[in-house]
Amino acid sequence: MIEANSGFVLVHVATPLEICEGRDRKGLYAKARAGLVKEFTGVSDPYEYPADAELTLDTTELSPEEAAQQILQYLENQAFIRLNGQGAHPESE
């Protein structure tokens, strides 16, 4: 259970289905399209975009490193972390 003010951040990694399929190293999308994997999100099961994401990353143009940097920057801006290596919240020090 997630409690209010517990530090949960919903990040939507927005990647079109065709890009996901192209990046699929395990062949799960091909297996889902062949009917070998049931209830596969985006193929045989609907995908619902999160309406309440705090951060959305378009990974068609971002490298994994750039996406990670944006997440870290968001967490720092929201005072979850400090990128200089110190603790997250000044009141906890």
Q: How far apart are the first and last CA of the chain?
A: 27
Residues of the chain with pLDDT under 70: 1-6, 85-93
pLDDT at 81: 87
* Residue 55 parent element (H or E): strand 55-58
pLDDT at 83: 82
pLDDT at 68: 96
